[in-house]
Structure formats: structure tokens, C-alpha cells
Amino acid sequence: MEEDQGGVEDNDDQVEEDLLDFGEEYDYRDSNSEVKEVSIMTHHNKALCTLPERIYDSYGELEKIEKELESLGGVSQRDHSSEY
């Protein structure tokens, strides 16, 4: 059987691969909430990554990340367009 080329794969590895595929768009919406995105930008205003705000908020780290990023000369931009 030559189907299994890389040995036994963990499901975690597959999930990580899926999340790293930036060509795909993922729907992180809960059934009753809108997606609010957080973009982490370089000091040249190029996006390093954009993730749903609730991922950061779930760890209570969003403001800490923003302050650290600003101290390094970067900018964090929140998409508040869906709040109203």
C-alpha cells in the first residue's frame, strides 16, 4: 500500500495546513454574530495578517497586542463597520 506517503498524520496537522492556506476564505461567524476583523500591519501599512477579532478577544489579548504593535511602529486596524 503506497497511499500513505507521510506516515500517520494527526488531525491537528491537517487543521493547521487548512488554516495556513491563505487562498481560502473562512467563515468564522457564529450563528448570531458578525465577523469583526483585526489586521496586524507593518509600519509600511502592509497587512501581515487579518484574523477575526473574537480570536484575540477570547484570550483577552487584543489591547495588549495593539499597544505592543504600536510601540514597535506598527498599526492595528479594527473593522468596526459591522457594529452599527
pLDDT in tens, 58-76: 555 666 777 777 777 766 5
Q: How much is the mean pLDDT over the chain? A: 56
Residue 44: all three cell numbers together: 509600511
Separation of CA 2 from chain center: 36
Strand (E) or helix (H) holding 69: helix 62-71
Taking the C-alpha atoms of residue 34 and residue 45, their distance in angstroms, rounded to an integer, is 25
pTM for this model (two decimals): 0.23
pLDDT of residue 57: 56
Amino acid identity for residue 46 in this structure: K
Taking the C-alpha atoms of residue 74 and residue 20, their distance in angstroms, rounded to an integer, is 23
Tell how many helices (H) and how many strands (E) occur in the chain.
Answer: 3, 3
